[in-house]
Structure 1
Amino acid sequence: MARVTLSAHGAASPETVWQRYASVDQWASWSPQIKAVHSVSRRLSPGMSGTVEAVAGIRAAFVVDAVDHDHRTWTWRVRLGRIQIRLHHEVRPQGRGSTTSLTMDGPRLALLAYSPLARLALHRLVQP
């Protein structure tokens, strides 16, 4: 197992960034690798599960482990075949904008392969 932490800073307010996370219908607008999110719930909540459909037609199952709307943090597990990655997200105010961070735990090669897409998504997430 390996751990990778990424972060991005932008002019979007922490409230805006958090709402982009909290509403799964918005994920495809800032995360270029996501085509759709299939889940009964449309708002992040502990225990929420479903699949994330990537633009290449790949579907990964997910389960949300924890959500703290007050502290703007959430944790989920994503599984694609035998590969499972745990992702922990945080949103914090910084200056007039916000900073978001992502800590991923999983197989080293999977994290290295996913990191460029995740970095791009985080930068798009914090833009106004």
Structure 2
Amino acid sequence: MGTESKRQQRFAGVIQQDLAEMFQREGKSWAPGAFITVTKVRVTPDLSIARVFLSFLNTNTAKADIDHIRTKTNEIRYKLGGRIKNQARIVPQLEFFLDDTNEYVEHMDKIFEEISKEPRQPEE
């Protein structure tokens, strides 16, 4: 996928903000105990599909939580439609993905920590 148009970026921003508010208010019923963050939203050029990346904090069951949220996609889309009805002609289909950037960063930090603990070899 190439660069996004201003229109796509603006629409993605609207969706991200509204979904973030929804997850803040109702996320506990969709993923109990987890703190859900909408990290990124990417919209197709025709604005018909929104790919939503979610990050989960305070949970060890992120994969199960994202699967549960995927089962609630129609409910979430309906609620989103009520929020953006004055700003969009259509409510895009929602696709939810797990944003594992935090886990990747933690993993890389551990690797660098291990490397820094290893004794240095003298240069010849």
Normalized against structure 2, the TM-score is what?
0.32
The structure with the largest alpha-carbon Rg is: 2
Question: Which has the higher relative contact order, 1 or 2, with Cα contacts under 8 A spaced 6 or more apart?
Answer: 1
Task: Write 1 or 2 for the structure with the bigger share of helix.
Answer: 2
Normalized against structure 1, the TM-score is what?
0.32
Task: Write 1 or 2 for the structure with the bigger share of strand.
Answer: 1
